[in-house]
Structures are given as C-alpha cells and as structure tokens.
Structure 1
Amino acid sequence: MKNPIIAVALLAVSPLVLTACESAEETTSTPAEEEGRIAGIEITNARLVLPPVSGNPAAIYFDIANNGDRTLAFRNAEVTGSGKAEVHDTIMEDGKMVMGEAPPILVESGSTVQFAPGGKHVMVFDLGRDVSEGSTVEVTLIAAGNKRHSFDAAVQAAGDAR
C-alpha cells in the first residue's frame, strides 16, 4: 500500500470486524441448543436400571424421536454421578448375541429409535453412592459435531419393570 495511514486504519479496524463476526455466530444458536438440547429431539420413557449386583454397570433405556429435518448420529453419552458411560448395542455374531460398544446410532428425521433391554442402551460404569432408586440422573447424548442433548432419567431398582 502506498498510503501508510490507510494501512494503519485497516489494522485498527480489523479486530472490530472479527469481533462482530464472532458475536453474530454466538447469537445464531437456538434457545434449545443453549439449554443442552438439540432442536427436534424428544426423549421419552428414560430410566436408569440399577444393577442386581452392586458395583456392576447399570443400563439406561429410553426412546429417542427425531422431529427435526436431518439425520443425527449419536456417538457418546455422559451420565452425572458415574465414572463413565458408553453407548452399547447387542448384535448377532457367529450365532450368539454379543453386547459391546455401538457404532454411531443414526436417528433419521421423522423416526424413533428405542434403547431397550436386549438392544441399544447406555451402559453406565462406576455409579456414585448417591445414585439410588427413586432419584434421577442427568444423561447427555453427544452427536456428531459435539452437539449435546441432555435429559433426566429416573433411577429404578434392578428387576423393576423395564
């Protein structure tokens, strides 16, 4: 540039322009996303079933409906009051039912996916002592792009209706 005054002015203004861009990005999120929810996702029938043997993992079951306009892929879960949580599925392998960590769970627009005994579920490890029958835990499902959807699950004793 031939005029150093213009160059200095552009340098002085550029942080303001970048700040304005950042502010615009921050205000584009929906209120649902700000509250730990993904727009269009509805969770029903959520419950954590305690293990029959203390110290073993618990399981969380629920129904997830996607009323949004695009497919979501849920990869991970977090549960308050636990050491860790994993999304699991039960599949047929070599003629046997085998349970293990699931690949991303796709929930297509307009569909409902059940997390139920004998199928998909969230396996919860190292439950805290304060997690007991009648209490609730907060569950956060994590979708691709680190989108998070949180909901409460009622804690049930082992053997209660699943």
Structure 2
Amino acid sequence: MKTYQSGKSNLLFIVIAIAAIAVGFLAQLSNSPDNQAPDFEKTILLPQPKPITMVPFSTHLDQPFDAVDWQGRWSIVFYGFTNCPDVCPTTMQTLKQVKADLVTAGVWQNFRIIMVSVDPKRDTSERLAQYVPFFDAEFIGLRADTESTTEFAKQMGILFINGQDSGEANYDVDHSASIILIDPQARYAGVMTAPHSAEIMTRDLIKLASYRPATAAAVTSPATLTREVNAMPSSAQSAVNAEGSAVTITNAWIRPAPSTASSMAAYLDITNNTSVDVTFTTVEADGFAMSMLHETMTQNEMTSMRHVDELNVPAGHTVHLAPMGKHIMLMRPEKPLQLGDVRRITLITSDGERFSRDVEVRTPEVN
C-alpha cells in the first residue's frame, strides 16, 4: 500500500500561529463595546468592514467574476479543493443544508455561497463545473492563479499550504477551515469559525440577514427546497472472519462525489467484541486503485490530513470513523459511483485477519 503523508514543517506552525493571532484579533474586535452586531453563536464580525483588493477570478462556468459580481448580497466563502476527500465535501454538504434552511426561512435572497479553489493547478474550470453544482446548482466555484488566490485570501487571514511542489500526483493542501463573510459592498466583514454546524450557521445567518437589511440588493427568491433526510441502513451488518472471531462494522457509508472526483471517503463504526485489542493496519476497497486509513485534523482554524499507520480498537470498545476525523480514503475509482452503489471494503489487522463489509454510497444527514 502506498503511504501518503501531508507535509509538516516549521512553515506550517508559523501559519497556524498567524491564523490563531488573526482569529484572536477578530474576537477582540467583535467584543468591542462599540460593536452593535447581533449576539452570534459562531460568527465574528469586524466592527468596520475592510475593503478588499479584488483579483481576476473566473467561475466554474469559465465566466469572469469581477468586483461588481461580489456586490448585492452577503457572500459566504469557503476555501477548498476538489481532490479533498473529507473536509471539503463535508463542508459543502453542510453549506447545502444551510442554503435549504435559509430558503425555508425566507432569507436566502440575501446570500450567495462560493467555493474558492486553493488548488488552481488541478481545479480547472471544467473540474469545478463537475464538483460545485454537485452540491447545489446555485453554488459558485471560483479559481484564479495561485499567486492571485494567495493575495486575495491573505486579506481575510486565510492561509493555505499547497503541496504541489512535492512531486506527488495526489498531493494535499492544508488550508484554513474558517468560512469568510463578504458583505454586499464587497468588503471583508467577518468569519464563521470551525467546526461548522448547519443549525448554528443558519441561526447566525438569519440574524445577519436583518443586521443591515438596506445593504442587500433585491433579488428574486429561488423556489423553496426541501430538507433531505436520508435513512440509515435498515439493519446493521457484521463482519466476521473465517475463524469466527467477531468484529462488528455498522453505520458504514461512502460519501457521494462528482464523477470527476479522484478521491472519496468512507465512514463506519468498528466494534471489537473480543477480549483482546485489535489493530488494523491496512484497508482494501473493491473498485478503487488505492485505499488507506486517513485522518483529518483541525488546529487553530487550519485543517490538514495525514495517513494513519494503524488503528487500534480496544477490547470491548467501538471506534467511530466519521467526517472531519478518522476515515477511509478511497482513491482513483475505476468508474464514477452513483447513489445506491455498493463497494466491499476490507479491514486487515496486523495479524492478517480480514473483516469485510459491503458499503453503500449515500448522502449523509447533516446536523
């Protein structure tokens, strides 16, 4: 199995420190007695929005996105990339639910949701056109060259470390997990800090919609969307090796992804029903060129991913592989997967024991 490991260096620690200082600075500003912003739960607004020097972006439809295009609505901006198997699709799914809730609340006309690519080398307009509308047809994907994207992001305290110089085809990008708010006058207005909850974000954005109602342009509200609720599998299945020593695998699912996705993620719960610890070191997945145990880590608003050498499940305990944490990374699918497709995933212990489970592609329920 090929080992992938996200690069860690002194530069990363410097970036994390800068990000922490930036978030602390914003928090101090938001607590100013002169600030009359609503009582937000996870949103920090600057007492005075900051002008932004715009850069030449193009959309996922290969259309220019200029300074005037940022005006008229609040822009909810997430920085991500299409090869991200866990953090980015998790956040985009959360934003999809946020949009549906804002539509239901009757305030969506005040907002737009944008994903800015931090990996323009691989994220072509064509690739973004497959990725961004997969989550919602009204979402906007933006890209520029790396220098312009860096210049734009730094104005809002957003930092990222692109691993394209490593020479690896499947390099990762460590990036800020914060979601940026740009006001209807195209100024940097605030930040929504991670981790992100659709319910909390919606409550904050409903408050934001009435904070400066005169600044939002009047637009036609889109049709109301219904909340997607996806049922859990009807029954749990167990994975038992040939000798009958039981490890139970439940709540297993693969996150759906656009047809162009080169990586996906699988999640599941592993229960060790034996009296001794079980250590998993390898994972195999039918229909994928490569698979591995993987982990997403968030520290001081920066997210990074790394290969996990082994996964220990103590005797009598359950280990949860879940979004934004430990998961199974599935790379280079043989063909695009559709909702309802099933792939067999096999977990292999350090002793060579194999535990398999058929896992369905399904949309997660968002909280």
Q: TM-score, normalised by structure 2?
A: 0.32
Within the candidate set 83, 87, 108, 2:293 is matched to 87
Within the candidate set 349, 353, 356, 1:150 is matched to 356
Structure-1 residue corresponding to 2:22: none
- The number of residues matched between the two structures is 127
Structure-1 residue corresponding to 2:329: 123
Structure-2 residue corresponding to 1:161: 365
Asked whether the 8 Å contact 2:281–2:350 carries over to 1, the reply is yes
Tell whether 2:312 aligns with 1:106: yes
Q: 1:95 to 1:129 in 2, by over 3 A?
A: closer
Cα deviation code 1:2-52 (max 9, x no counterpart): xxxxxxxxxxxxxxxxxxxxxxxxxxxxxx432xx8622000010111224
Instruction: Classify the secondary structure of the residue corresponding to 1:83.
Output: strand
Tell whether 2:241 aligns with 1:33: yes
Identity among equivalent positions (%) equals 28
In structure 2, what is the Cα distance between the partners aligned to 1:161 and 1:57?
A: 21
Structure 1 segments unaligned to the other structure (5+ residues): 1-31
Code of the residue aligned with 1:112 in structure 2: it is T
Q: TM-score, normalised by structure 1?
A: 0.70
Shift of 1:91: 2.8
Asked whether the 8 Å contact 1:81–1:130 carries over to 2, the reply is no
Over the aligned positions, Cα root-mean-square deviation in angstroms equals 2.1
Cα deviation code 1:92-142 (max 9, x no counterpart): 568733211013111000110000000010000111226321111100001
Structure with the bigger RCO (C-alpha within 8 Å, sep 6+) is: 1
Tell whether 2:342 aligns with 1:136: yes
Code of the residue aligned with 1:152 in structure 2: it is D
Code of the residue aligned with 1:62 in structure 2: it is L
